[in-house]
Chains A and B, each alone.
Chain A
């Protein structure tokens, strides 16, 4: 639109391509000719963070024990308060007779989404009981409820502030970005140190993890309330508070409830991971069983986690879907019918409690156990003999050899290429050039500095291992997700068939995905990668499908009118127009893949995740923090580059028009 001065012609795509090719060739030559002894990142350049951090850790441990004021007046009381709250909730859940809990879940389900949901909720709880993990499940639930309640009570006012004030919004945004980009592992270490080992650090870590969606969706919900409604309020002389309470909050309620749903689901996922830092519950059951290779037991606890997650998801999702007209759903006492029903349900539950209490009923009887592990363990044994490794005509085949084969022939070469063969300056230059081509000097400098810092932290080799796994996984994930997304966009039936599977994969806490994968592929890096593919695929599929479906029907119709075949219109119209959405999907997938590859450090994956795990388990805070910082730097670089990719494509057609 604006006149471009003719003296500065924009480089054509061809020119850019030639330049990039020449630079690539130069880098390749440099890589080949580089002296072998200078390829690894020089160890002497280490920033030496480890010693002071270890010292700080020792200081914290000593002073916490000796009641230093910082701990005596701040962290200890905070910790004690959280612990008391947790104990109260947990105690309340554990002393409630099981029929009351099941009936309460059913009542909530009926209120939120009708009889079917009520049935699902009740059956879910009964199922958890029948898996023999009633108590750990209630512990997990208590932990999740406290963390989610804290996230919501903190997130709601913060979100309101961010919606009302652009300044608060600008200040909060980078903090929330960081909280969401950080793999959960990273802040476990400082939280552990400050709050001690037990359930309190789990609550704090979960709070950090689950707070951002609540803040973001509150702010988003309030900001996207129709400006016409807000203006009408102002025009009739409503004060700012009246506009907030009478117009914005009620209209934003569905989005707020989506925030509650996401917060609950993220809290659920994190509470499971928090088992690593000494929180009990189902996560601990899974972890212990996995470490002892008792797959059946791990499967039971994992299944219970899935059931709990699905029930919580369906319940909170149903609340968020209620129509904006019926804004009274959250406060049933507001309308007369609701008040009566509510009173009846409460009375019924109280009566049930009294009756069950008198009869001495507590947790679900252990004799009602379903024989799950009795089925799973032989199945796993059979799998091991017949799928994991079996002999055909003298050749050993199966998932085990597959796992070994891909580790030896795919992952190790990629890792060795990145961390040993490729000279580190060449890699940094290549990333900088890529960043420059995408978005100019700032991205180039940011990426190069981030990578350099990874090296200075002494984490070059494990970071390259992680990077290699991420790239390999990303290729696999994209290779599955985009074709599946395209198919889903073309065939409604395929999409409908895919939907429950995607819902399921998105509901299952990431850690639990590892269980069945390990059953088939044993521990190592391959199960981490497969779990990451499963974990990261859904958003890629969904965004590809959505992007293609969102292409204006006129464009497709025009292509058809000119006689394009279905494949032609897909390739020439729909896919190019859906590219921004697909690239946004790739951005999400990269971040999820990274998170999962790190978590897989727990089950024999290698790289930065393993460094953190080792650091945490041996109380070597220095090592864990160094690895954690490297994870952050890697995550930021990957996020920036892929986000830029998506935005750049978004901008392209506009600047041309």
Chain B
């Protein structure tokens, strides 16, 4: 996935689920004028007083079934970016194809239909409706798209079961803990069976232990549902755990996009490097990424073998127990490289 071509996809099957090109979002009274000024080269902060350039020329694509994480600190524009994907914030300029549609060309009615059926969102502050019970909250999306009471309640009950909240249907959100409330938010988003799930820092408001539990829950759901997901977070560890690919944002720009391994091994700049420094490298890196080519004269006939796709973490016991070079096999069991204890330790030390 990491070295995937970025050229235009040719067939309908390989079309990315989300295609975002040169997206800009400027807040303020005259966004288009500011955009023209900036593209004309006049990008002095004094020139756009009263305006905030929240999203700056952002391009990325998300393939079907992939979990794409956007990581950035507060004020980096990541929340605005995800709101643009649903046009909760109206992009100033750019191209946006979501679920096979030109999102920016949709009329109000068509957009509503996309929101009702194709894309769902989970919010940082949960966004639950305090005057409705759990069941009615989960059924909300189905209700606004006009599904009959009985069907939407049956579907909502199934979703509540799915996120492990069976038995809480008649409670009000305020009677639930934060983690449980976000499970309701998750169930509500899943209830409409959307193609794409947007997560806006869904676990940031939760305690670390609960956050971890919710991440596991999400991984479990994702393993069975395979929803195309865009996940916003400010927590790099969370990005590493959940993301197939990660985009790092700073001041409205995407600084680097890549798999967790790409970022860890080749941070594009000091900013990315600062996050990567504390990454749990043993968990992020695969054996394939740290092995070296087989030396021509090497004799690795004996001893244990490592699998190229394993994480370094799982290879550690073998590495600890073996002196000298250890062979690495690819999927077919053929030798494709080797490493020794020194390679592993240098990698873990971040050298």
Contacts and interface: CB of A to CB of B under 8 A. Distances in A.
Contact of B88 (A235, A238, A246, A327): A235
B112 interface: yes
Contacts of A239: 112, 144
B129 A236 contact: no
Interface in A221-263: 226, 228-229, 231-239, 242, 246-247, 250-251, 253
B133 to A, nearest CB: 8
A234 B188 CA distance: 14
Interface stretch (B23-31, B118-126, B159-167, B299-307): B118-126
Among B88, B115, B144, B172: residue with most chain A CB under 10 A: B144
Given A231-B88, A325-B172, A325-B174, A237 B127 contact: no
B140 interface: yes
A246 B126 contact: no
Nearest to A240: B108
A246 B127 contact: no
Contacts of A229: 127-130
B141 interface: yes
B101 interface: no
A250 B131 contact: yes
A246 B142 CA distance: 13
Contacts, number: 71
Interface string B171-193: 01010000000000000100010
Given A231-B127, A250-B131, A251-B131, A237 B144 contact: yes
A231 B123 contact: yes
Q: Which of A229, A232, A327 has the most CB of B within 10 A?
A: A232
B268 to A, nearest CB: 32
Given A239-B112, A325-B172, A325-B174, A233 B131 contact: no
A77 interface: no
Please tell me the size bucket of the interface on A. Answer: 20 to 34
A235 B117 CA distance: 11
A562 to B, nearest CB: 33
Given A251-B131, A324-B130, A325-B131, A238 B125 contact: no
A235 B126 contact: no
Contacts of A233: 129, 140, 144
B128 A242 contact: no
Given A228-B125, A242-B144, A237 B116 contact: yes
B113 A237 contact: yes
A383 B120 CA distance: 75
Contact of A236 (B116, B125, B126, B174): B116
A597 B43 CA distance: 61
B145 interface: yes
A325 B130 contact: yes
Classify chain B's interface size: 20 to 34
B86 interface: yes
A236 B127 CA distance: 11
Contact of B115 (A234, A251, A253): A234
Given A229-B127, A242-B144, A325-B174, A236 B120 contact: yes
Contacts of B128: 229, 232
A86 to B, nearest CB: 36
A237 B129 contact: no
A111 B193 CA distance: 42
Contacts of B116: 236-237
Contact of A235 (B120, B130, B145, B172): B120
A650 to B, nearest CB: 23
Given A228-B123, A242-B144, A325-B174, A235 B86 contact: yes
A236 B144 contact: yes
Given A235-B120, A235-B121, A324 B144 contact: no
B192 to A, nearest CB: 7
A620 B27 CA distance: 58
Interface string A156-180: 0000000000000000000000000
A228 B188 CA distance: 15
Contacts of B113: 237
A600 B141 CA distance: 58
Contacts of A250: 129, 131
A222 to B, nearest CB: 14
A10 to B, nearest CB: 22
Contact of A324 (B112, B125, B131, B140): B131
A3 to B, nearest CB: 11
A448 B38 CA distance: 48
B112 A237 contact: yes
B178 to A, nearest CB: 14
15 contacts: A226-B125, A228-B123, A229-B129, A233-B140, A235-B115, A235-B120, A235-B121, A235-B123, A236-B120, A237-B112, A238-B140, A246-B129, A246-B144, A250-B129, A251-B129
Given A235-B123, A239-B112, A325-B174, 13 more contacts: A228-B123, A229-B128, A231-B123, A232-B121, A232-B127, A235-B88, A236-B188, A238-B140, A246-B140, A246-B143, A247-B129, A324-B131, A325-B172
